[in-house]
Amino acid sequence: MASLSDKVAIQFSSRFVVQGLQILDGILLARWLTASGMATFGQVFLVTTLLMPLFGTMGGGIGYFFPRLDRARQKGLLAQSIAIGLLAGLLAAAVIFLVAEPLGQRFQNPALPDLLRLFCLFPVLVFPTYFFGQFTICANRNVTGACVSGIGKLAHSAIIATCLFTGASLGVLLAGLLIYHAALMLFSTAYAARFYRDTPMHWDRSMLRSQFTYTIPIALAAATGVLSRELDKVIASAFFVPSMVAIYLVGAREVPVLFLVAGSISSIIFPEMSRHLAEGNPHKAAELWAESIRKQAMVAIPTFIFLMIFAVEFTVTLYGRKYAESAGVFRIYLLVLPLRCVLWSLMLSAAGITRPLFWAASLSLASNLALGLLAIHLFGILGAAIGTVGSVVVEAGYCGWVTWRRVNVNILACFPWRFMLRLSAISLGVSLLLIPLRLIPLRSEILFMVALPAFSAAVSVLVLVLGCLTEYEKSTFKRWLSPLLLWQTRLKSGAGRS
């Protein structure tokens, strides 16, 4: 059986491919679509994104329940989750269809209603597949789950690229994505059915009650949390014209590389943390949590410092010069990156204490609304992003406080403060040394492509030389890199013989 580190590596590799292709999708859309088309496409997915957590997570909790169930009851839980997802998807589709026309008027976008009505089938096809990721992890089918995720995203990106290169309309593009999600839904359910084909299914009403008891607070918290995170985009769409909204949507993005690490780690350690807490060992769960914070800080801190300095070059490189103004919004969004070192709700979810998550998300939503509406009157469209940053701070503080009170784990004690300070000093020093590159008359794209590898290499070497990594981290990285090093050695030896 693979170790936790190997499972994290598998998940990270899959998520790396998915996030890389997602970035590529954004680049292609920004460069091929007009500003109004980019705004319309973003608003279609904004509406579906707002509804997905409330309805889509009702059939979740696989990672929490599976370690506690035998195979027969696991099969019953999967069937129950798929059925709940399908019913929730139909309800979400009806909501999207009904609000299409009013939203088109409110967002000053006449092209939006027809596309929303077309894409309202999206939840019906997506919600029943939410179980698949956690199912493959709990069933120790990590490679299968990673391959399905990566290959599926590759097909998703191929559809987008094909439609853009052939000049197809947004309607054709969205229809192609619906076909892709239909195929993915069929595969996910067929794979789960085959996995349990020799297992009798056991189901009773108590499973339904237990799942709803666990997931309803999470669904409400997730819906409120997503509304809080996306509220700035709703405010921007409601108060500004589509051309300005497109500039805002391009910049209003959190750095996906950290979600790569966070998502990979959390999906692996969540079942382990849940087991430790069920056995009455919160300190072992806290050790896993602390280790996850350290791993996320390795990525978050250097990324935050480098991109804060080279935000304009980063934006122009990815999305083109017409979106250079998006760098201001992007810099404000970067301020939440240090807080993303912690998955603030992870310990509470693993302990089954889900109700406070709703209150945390509610506080975040209220603060985002108040700060966002106030800030747009003071700073224009940038004010919407300021409200989002403030809401993240409020939510993190509340989750940390409740974790300390309810689980008896002090999140501040889990932070590797000395390591983070040393990493910050190294990253800042290297970034400052790279600023003189701007004196060379280079295009922004070339400057960024030179600065990024130079920064990455310098920080990596200094972290190793200055002893910032533990022996276990060094041995783990060496083990992961050993196949690549062996392959390079064989290539060199083969070239020598020839």
SS3 of residue 385 by DSSP: helix
Sequence-separated (6 or more) residues with CB below 8 Å from residue 468: 419, 422, 423, 426
| Torsion sign, CA atoms 333, 334, 339, 340 | positive
Examine the domain organization and report whether 116 and 234 are in the same domain. Answer: no
Same domain, 256 and 308: yes
Express as a percent the part of the chain with pLDDT over 90: 31
Does residue 216 fall inside a structural domain? no
Alpha carbon distances (Å) from 117 to 96, 171, 356: 7, 10, 35
Check residue 441 and give its pLDDT. Answer: 86
- Name, in order, each residue with C-beta under 8 angstroms of 351's C-beta and a sequence gap of 6 or more: 274, 277, 282, 285, 406, 407
Q: Is the pLDDT of residue 177 over 90?
A: yes
Measured distance CA(187)–CA(378) in Å, rounded? 50
Judged against a pLDDT cut of 90, whether residue 329 lies above it is answered with: yes
Domain holding 306, by residue range, is 221-482
Domain boundary (203, 236, 267) is at 203
* 274 in any annotated domain: yes
CA distance 15 to 478: 21
Q: Are residues 272 and 395 in the same domain?
A: yes
d(CA 247, CA 330): 10
Instruction: Indicate if 241 and 153 belong to the same structural domain.
Output: no
Task: Give the pLDDT of residue 262.
Answer: 65
Give the per-residue SS3 of 113-132.
Answer: HHHHHHHCCHHHHHHHHCCH
CA 218/CA 62 separation, integer angstroms: 13
- pLDDT at residue 56 in the model: 57
Residue 407 clears pLDDT 90, i.e. is over it = no
- Whether 10 is covered by a domain: the verdict is yes
Same domain, 238 and 124: no
238 and 115 share one domain? no
497, part of any domain: no
The pLDDT assigned to 8 comes to 58
Residue 131 inside a domain? The answer is yes
The answer to pTM > 0.75 is no
Whole-angstrom Cα distance, residue 307 to residue 335? Answer: 11
Please check the confidence at residue 148 and state whether its pLDDT lies above 90.
Answer: no
59 and 31 part of one domain: yes
At 54 the pLDDT is 65
Same-domain check for residues 171 and 235: no
Is 115 in contact with 73 (CB distance < 8 Å)?
no
Which residues touch 208 (CB under 8 Å, ≥6 apart)? 80
What's the domain count of the chain? 2
Same domain, 41 and 95: yes
Regarding whether 425 and 290 lie in a shared domain, the answer is yes
Which of 47-56, 166-175, 361-370 is predicted with the least confidence, judged by mean pLDDT?
A: 47-56
Q: Which domain-ending residue is among 203, 229, 253?
A: 203
Q: What is the pLDDT of residue 150?
A: 82
Question: Virtual CA dihedral for 137, 59, 396, 13, nearest 10 degrees?
Answer: 30
Q: What is the pLDDT of residue 487?
A: 43
Q: Please name the residue that has the structure tokens 């807490």.
A: 277
Average of pLDDT values for 123-147? 79
Q: Tell which residue, 461, 464, 465, 431, has the closest CA to residue 448.
A: 431
Same domain, 119 and 149: yes
Q: Is residue 281 part of a domain?
A: yes
| Shared-domain flag, residues 269 and 152 | no
- With respect to residue 489, please indicate whether it lies within any of the assigned structural domains: no
79 part of a folded domain:
yes
Q: What is the pLDDT of residues 464-497, one digit of tens each?
A: 888 777 776 667 666 655 544 444 444 444 544 4
